[in-house]
Amino acid sequence: MKDENIYLALVVILAPLSIAAIGGATGIYAPLQHETVELRSWLTAREFIDLFAIARLAPGPGSMLAPLIGWKVAGISGALLATVALYLPSSVLCYGAARVWNRHRGKPWHRAIESGLSPVAAGLIFSGILALLRLGETGPLSWFTVALVAGLLMWRPKLHPLLLIGCGALVFFLLHVAGA
Amino acid sequence: MDQTPPVPLGAIYGLFFRIGLFSFGGQLTSWIHREVVLVRGWMTNEEFLSGMALSQILPGVNSTNTAVFVGQRLRGVWGATVAITAMLTGPFFAVILAGIFYKWVVGWDGVQSIMEGVAAVALGMLARMGISAGRGVTKGWAPALAMLVTFVGVGVLRWPMLGVVAVVAPISVLVSYYQVRSDEG
């Protein structure tokens, strides 16, 4: 009885967030905290903050916090349900848009929209970089790394992402150990 | 364009699984771009970027929307399903494992510095993608202006993304429509 309510509640909370959260994961934290901590008391404030930290440390979008909460309150089936509830509605919408979009490939207006949208996308990429660098958690070392990696890739485009990621992780870790 | 043999679903799964598994502390759209456009040539630069703009305008996480877009373009409904499932498989198990070993993970602050390093590298890759993508699409004053206004509005002044795109995108599209027409006529 209680479990059924939890499953239903997960869907009722997450499915609207899937459509309402424009611009990625940051939009879902506040409503998620309100629903799970304040309204339903599934989690204490402390637990929520810990889960938030875990979701940020693990790979994947920050919104993987939702499956983690699902796992915490209703086990593995809760996690699966939370994932589907959070990602299915927005993905179906995106699929529909992509389908309509790709069906008209080659028409003049399609090409016009494509080449008109591309510079907007490039502007959004730079905006995203600036927003992340502004978060305040990043020190001068991060700024330096961003510039270095961008420069390295301009010079040697074939460098594999995993190699760079591994080196970045290692250098930051060693500096942390040396500093501690 | 479409006379090339279809991309195998297994290849789509493999690519997005790997990218999902390693997307620490920041989205790896730049890695998707690298593999899909530069290495494998599954899509053109403009195709990918316009899909990326679409992914950002639509609700949902940008990187998973991009996976849906690329999957749909390559193999329709199965391509999209496989791409987003692959993208989320690694993170799903990783986040639950992290939840299980939670005290250990949060307690050891070495983890934090590793994640910072990975996030900084991901940002550098994104910057490099922005530079090369920007250079490719900004031939002429109109696209360059569209890119600049978008960046200043959303990035520097922090205006709402949807509002800025709603103003800049139609103008940019209209200008390129007249260019496409005059190129053909």
Q: Where are the domains of chain A?
A: 1-103
Q: Any chain B CB within 8 A of the CB of A87?
A: yes
CB contact under 8 A, B68 and A54: no
Q: What is the pLDDT of residue A1?
A: 41
Q: How far is CA B164 from the centre of its chain?
A: 19
> Residue B24 gets which letter from DSSP?
B
Among the partner-chain residues A60, A72, A147, the one whose CB lies closest to the CB of B23 is A60
Contact yes or no for B63/A128 (Cβ under 8 A): no
Tell me the angle at which helices A2-20 and A65-103 cross, rounded to the nearest 10 degrees.
40
The alpha-carbon gap from B148 to the nearest alpha carbon of chain A, in Å, equals 6
Most confident of A67-76, B55-64, B135-144: A67-76
Question: CB-hemisphere CA count at 13 Å for B31?
Answer: 26
Residue B74 pLDDT level (bands cut at 50, 70, 90): very high
Backbone φ and ψ for B59, nearest 5 degrees, come out as: -65, 160
Contacts of A64 in chain B (CB under 8 A): 88, 91-92, 95
| Residue pointed to by tokens 């961003």 | A146
Residue B29 pLDDT level (bands cut at 50, 70, 90): confident
Q: Any chain A CB within 8 A of the CB of B85?
A: no
Which of B88, B73, B65, B97 lies closest to A64 in space, CA to CA?
Answer: B88
CB contact under 8 A, A129 and B150: no
Q: Name the residue of chain B whose CA is nearest to A98's CA.
A: B69
Q: Any chain B CB within 8 A of the CB of A50?
A: yes
- Please give the structure tokens belonging to residue A166: 């591994």
The mean per-residue pLDDT over the stretch B84-104 comes to 89
Asked which of A86-90, B68-72, B121-125, B149-153 is least confident by mean pLDDT, the reply is B121-125
pLDDT mean across residues, chain A: 85
Q: Name the residue of chain A whose CA is nearest to B172's CA.
A: A116
Backbone φ and ψ for B10, nearest 5 degrees, come out as: -60, -40
Q: How far is CA B68 from the centre of its chain?
A: 11
Rounded Cα–Cα distance for residues A57 and B64 (Å): 18
CA torsion sign, B142 to B148 to B153 to B154?
A: positive
